[in-house]
Amino acid sequence: AAGVIQSPRHLIKEKRETATLKCYPIPRHDTVYWYQQGPGQDPQFLISFYEKMQSDKGSIPDRFSAQQFSDYHSELNMSSLELGDSALYFCASSATGGYTFGSGTRLTVV
Amino acid sequence: GIQVEQSPPDLILQEGANSTLRCNFSDSVNNLQWFHQNPWGQLINLFYIPSGTKQNGRLSATTVATERYSLLYISSSQTTDSGVYFCAVEGSGGSNYKLTFGKGTLLTVNP
């Protein structure tokens, strides 16, 4: 069965650089979510999109932005990276029957 | 927002032992899922269980929605069961269309 696809799997950036993470949801799932998981923490909700419109927003820094495109894939853009942005970033999509998470992007800021 | 509490925070077992993990939540829910996060960081969905009981091999889960708790049972544990187990819920309020995670239970199964 198709899953949620995230790319890249790993990313190393320097402070103050910009990073773009991509997510391809399961076909016909109408909502996409982004989560951030710091070391030893639980995943924290960042932002979600329903039918390409932003539907909810969590504790997402102003340096981060996201959008969902016409083909339903989503991108999370992070600028002016800080050491504290180092984390696992998950994308998930949902339909009736629950949420499915991608394998995540591990971002390391050095 | 909805609150999710998991217990115990840490659990150490010998291979072959059974265990019960608990998840309490503060409000009514549309969705409750149990996840296993493996050492590589992947979140593996174990159960979608907003109510009732389900079983999958050595794992089973029960959610009593009226009393706002869910239990995950692991029987005959194996070393590969090690990792963090998360409970996550979607509240049924009008602005709660997202999963909120508990802090997790770190399970270590020793050979």
- Are the beta carbons of A43 and B101 separated by less than 8 Å? yes
Q: What residues of B are in contact with residue A33 (Cβ under 8 Å)?
A: 98-99
Gap between the terminal Cα atoms of chain A = 37
Angstrom distance (rounded) from CA B36 to CA B52: 20
Under an 8 Å CB criterion, which residues of A touch B?
Answer: 31, 33, 37, 42-45, 48, 50, 55-56, 58, 88, 90, 92, 97-101, 103-104, 106
Contact criterion met (CB below 8 Å) for B44 and B38? yes
Q: How far is B53 from chain A (nearest CA, A)?
A: 15
* A contacts of B102 (beta carbons < 8 Å): 42
The helix/strand/coil state of B65 is: helix
Spell out which residues of chain A touch residue B90, defining contact as CB-CB under 8 Å. 99
Backbone angles phi, psi at B8, to 5 degrees: -75, 165
Q: Mark yes or no for CB contact A98/B33 under 8 Å.
A: yes
The pLDDT assigned to B94 comes to 65
Which pLDDT does position A1 carry in this prediction? 67
Mean pLDDT within A52-81 = 94
Centre a 10 Å sphere on the Cβ of residue A45 and count the other Cβ atoms it contains: 20
Residue tagged 């969590």 (tokens): A58
Contact residues, chain A, for B10 at CB < 8 Å: none
Among A37, A48, A59, which Cα is nearest to A93's? A48
Chain A contact present for B101, CB below 8 A: yes
Report yes or no: A39 and A56 within 8 Å, Cβ to Cβ.
no
Number of neighbours of residue A2 by Cβ within 10 angstroms: 11
- Please check the confidence at residue B64 and state whether its pLDDT lies above 80: yes
Task: Determine, for residues B97 and A100 on separate chains, whether the beta-carbon distance falls below 8 Å.
Answer: no
Distance from C-alpha of B11 to C-alpha of A108, rounded to nearest angstrom: 29
Q: What is the pLDDT of residues A3-35, one digit of tens each?
A: 999 999 999 999 999 999 999 999 988 899 999
Averaged confidence pLDDT in chain B: 95
